[in-house]
Amino acid sequence: MAKPLILVCNDDGITSRGIRKLVNVVKNLGEVVVVAPDSPQSGMGHAITVGDTLRLTKNDLFGDIEAYECSGTPADCIKLAKHYVLKGKKIDLIVSGVNHGSNSSISVLYSGTMSAAIEGAIEGVPSIGFSLCDFDPSADMDHVDNYIEKVVTEALKNGLPKGIALNVNFPVKQKEPIKGIKMCRQANANWEEDFDERKDPYGRKYFWMVGNFVNHDKGEDNDEWALANNYVSIVPCQFDMTAHHAIPHLNEAWDI
């Protein structure tokens, strides 16, 4: 029986510790191919390369696992993987990450990690993005292995609804073990930004974005609550951004 084909991507770049962690776990669950950015692409969202070159280079970073580094964005990597590297082959699952930093709540919109997974869902492939709520590049990830394996195994065995990608976030490693997994909704939270005005060595003005993450959500069924209480959070995400509930209101209220 043929092994399932698993495509691995990320947004922190092909040399990050997070993608090595993900490859090391899923290589035991199927045939793995890696296509990832050649440099960090955090905060890229669902950007794609238009009107510029894309370069794809084979990489031996993962030993005998077929791997490529791409000059483009995470979404570019998924497109190139499906339509060039693995053209004509059935991809059974796309996994992205493990991201260095949380992609819970509103951060899912800015995330290159999750955009790779969403691009997979657009292409009709079951897809999962994994993130650790610790931005330290050398953060301890030893507590995530079993949960990655469990989520990937379930996805391979039972599939995902059409057009859905899973946003999986892991809490920071604590003294106590993770309590379990929670299926969640996205928390009502946002970033409140400010721009610090500075000057470069030549006296020219530039800006540095700063700000704080503010959670307005008091519920116990959302991803922020789950992570704060030492659970793994899973939020099913979709690329159809239609606000279906708003259509009747607009049809009634607007004179068009």
Instruction: Give domain limits for the chain.
Output: 5-187+219-253
Task: Look at residue 43 in the predicted model and tell me its pLDDT.
Answer: 87
Q: Tell me how far CA of residue 165 lies from CA of 93, 119, 123, 156, in angstroms.
A: 10, 9, 11, 13
pLDDT, position 211: 85
Rounded distance, CA 141 to CA 159, Å?
26
CATH fold group of domain 5-187+219-253: Stationary-phase Survival Protein Sure Homolog; Chain: A, (3.40.1210)
b (16+ CB within 10 A) / e for 210-227? eeeeebebeeeebbbbbb
Q: Which residues are annotated as a binding site for a divalent metal cation?
A: 11-12, 42, 99
What per-residue confidence (pLDDT) applies to 68?
A: 98
Decide: helix, strand or coil at residue 206. strand
Distances (CA, A) of 129 to 115, 161, 203: 8, 15, 42
Could you read off the pLDDT of 217-237 as tens digits, one per residue? 899 999 999 999 999 999 999
Look at residue 35 in the predicted model and tell me its pLDDT. 98
Looking at residue 81, what is its pLDDT?
Answer: 98
Mean pLDDT of successive 10-residue segments in the chain (256 residues)?
Answer: 94 96 97 97 92 96 97 97 97 97 94 97 97 91 96 97 97 95 95 93 95 89 97 97 95 94
- Which runs of consecutive H residues, i.e. helices, occur in the chain? 17-26, 74-80, 112-122, 145-158, 223-228, 246-253
pTM of the model: 0.94
Res 137: pLDDT? 83
Identify the pLDDT of residue 1. 72
Contact of 9 with 78, CB cutoff 8 Å: yes
Beta-strand runs (E) in the chain: 5-9, 31-37, 56-58, 66-70, 93-100, 127-132, 164-170, 181-183, 189-199, 205-215, 232-238
Reading the block at residue 150, the tokens are 């469990």
Task: Enumerate residues 6+ apart whose C-beta is below 8 A from 74.
Answer: 9, 10, 11, 36, 37, 41, 44, 96, 112, 113, 115, 116, 119
